[in-house]
Homo-oligomer: A and B are copies of this chain.
Amino acid sequence: MTQSAVPHPATGLDATVHQRVRLGILTVLGEARRADFTYLRDTLELTDGNLSSQLQVLENAGHVRTEKVFERRRPRTWVALTRQGRAALRAEREALRELVERLDRLK
């Protein structure tokens, strides 16, 4: 076996974005522009705690922003992609595309 000078596509995956739950959150937000906490939780079949902690990771990384509001006297948390989050999601998409193409060549 010889080593290629081109890095393997798996080395291009960003762990912050690639992680299963966070990738789900970013994908939903990419589709919906913004989504509330309950919608994300139900769509991705998550617990409140898991969604909260993964949102925190994404917010700390600058990929999403959250906004807590009161609507009809009830608290609601809106979540949206930042510009950086959108770019990160596109980069992940291209890394995944390359990986899928590579996996398509397997016997």
For A19, the chain B residues whose CB sits under 8 A away are: 19-20
Question: What is the CA–CA distance of A105 and B31 in the complex, to the nearest angstrom?
Answer: 8
Question: Which residues A35-77 have CB closer than 8 A to chain B?
Answer: 35-36, 39, 42-45
With known contacts A93-B100, A96-B100, A106–B30 Cβ distance under 8 A: yes
Instruction: Tell me if B13 and A20 are in contact (CB < 8 A).
Output: yes
Question: What is the CA–CA distance of A21 and B20 in the complex, to the nearest angstrom?
Answer: 13
Most buried by B among A30, A35, A96, A106: A106
Instruction: Tell me if A27 and B1 are in contact (CB < 8 A).
Output: no
Interface residues of A, Cβ cutoff 8 Å to B: 1, 3-4, 7-11, 13, 15, 18-21, 23-24, 27-28, 30-32, 35-36, 39, 42-45, 89-90, 93, 96-97, 99-100, 102-106
**What are 14 A-B pairs at a CB distance below 8 A?**
A3-B42, A8-B24, A8-B27, A8-B45, A10-B24, A10-B44, A11-B44, A13-B23, A18-B18, A18-B20, A27-B103, A31-B102, A96-B103, A100-B100
